[in-house]
Amino acid sequence: MTGHFLSAGDPEQLTGGHIYNRRILSALAAQGWPLQHHVLPGDYPEPAAGDHAAACDRLAALPDDSVVVIDGLALGALAEAIVAHSTWLRLVALVHLPLGAEVGTAATQLRERAAREARALAACRRIIANSEHTRDGLVRRGLAPTAIDVVPPGTEPAPLARGADDTTRLICVATVTPRKGQDLLVDALAGLVGLSWHCRLVGSVDRDPAFAARVRERIDQAGLADRISLVGECAGAALEACWHEADLAVLPSHYEGYGMVITEAIARGLPVVATAGGAVGEALPPATGLLSAPGDRAALEVNLGEFLGNAELRGTLAEMARRARRGLPTWDERARQFAHALERTG
């Protein structure tokens, strides 16, 4: 059986979806299930006309009866081509984040994207969702539960974070965009200036420069420039250094299809304070963190204050995170689940 994987945009991007794709492809190849990776250039989910035409041509050129996995970011843009080729290709949709779930995009545009995505999903033989929450949302949209497999992210082994001796170190690893809610985090921390903490916001500031500028302005207006650092996108040793010095991971997102950064934190024995948007509660192991409703600044502030001001609570959550890291699923395990889903395409 010939296998192909179509992903949208630069595959080396440091987003949860692209990291998932890279890890799954690598693990599948190691297990004897290699998928030929086709990178679709362009700015998805709204590519330019030339990039869209090239992507449609790429799909049309694939051999009949091939298993073809299409990353969810490209589903809406390629909807008509997906429908046209669904008879002779074994199409599989990989859904990380439903296209209508983005924050900071006009409602009319989100509805259009969701409608195109629905047409594409209906034409695929199988759908792979990254969480039970994502699967349930697809079922509510009328897709058959029997056509959907759930394959959450795996985890890479990581050393225990050392933390800091002088002050409690918070880390928020997320692209600086409206959906990730860094503005909410700044506002919550502004109410906790009497406690000892420093927060690093680690993530690209280039995906939504206007929002990043608003976050910087909020930090300055709150007088927190020496306590909240916008360090930009980090990878490799630089990112590991940030993780290693942390005492707490924070994720103030309005919505997550899964929330890979949560399991990355747990893999390092770090407790988590987060907002329970989307599948966050599913990703967080029991008793390893504190959750509040998405968008609720006051509740987020309370949870952060509880963690910062209660040494016994900090110790308990950290101990539970260290225990939970031992049972986190690996990428090899997830790749076997992924391969099983592909084998069910008929």
pLDDT band at 15 (very low <50, low <70, confident <90, very high): confident
**Alpha-carbon gap, residue 184 to 168, rounded angstroms:** 19
Mean pLDDT of 41-66: 94
- Structural contact between residues 184 and 252, judged by C-beta atoms closer than 8 angstroms: yes
Where do the DSSP E strands lie in 168-262?
168-173, 197-202, 228-232, 248-251
What contacts 11, CB < 8 A, 6 or more positions away? 18, 21, 22, 37, 39
What does the mean pLDDT of the chain come to? 95
Cα separations (Å) of 225 from 154, 173, 206, 231, 270?
A: 35, 18, 20, 12, 25
Q: Which one-letter DSSP state was computed for residue 17?
A: H
- Structural contact between residues 272 and 110, judged by C-beta atoms closer than 8 angstroms: no
- Structural contact between residues 66 and 105, judged by C-beta atoms closer than 8 angstroms: no
Segment 227-279, tens digit of pLDDT: 999 999 998 999 999 999 999 999 999 999 999 999 999 999 999 999 999 99
Segment 186-223, tens digit of pLDDT: 999 999 999 999 999 999 999 999 999 999 999 999 99
pLDDT band at 164 (very low <50, low <70, confident <90, very high): confident
Question: In the chain, what are the domains?
Answer: 3-154+330-343 (3.40.50.2000), 168-327 (3.40.50.2000)
**Residue 206 main-chain phi, psi, to 5 deg:** -100, -15
Segment 276-291, tens digit of pLDDT: 999 999 999 999 999 9
Buried b (16+ CB within 10 A) or exposed e, 272-297: bbbbbbbbbbbbbbeebbbbbebbbb
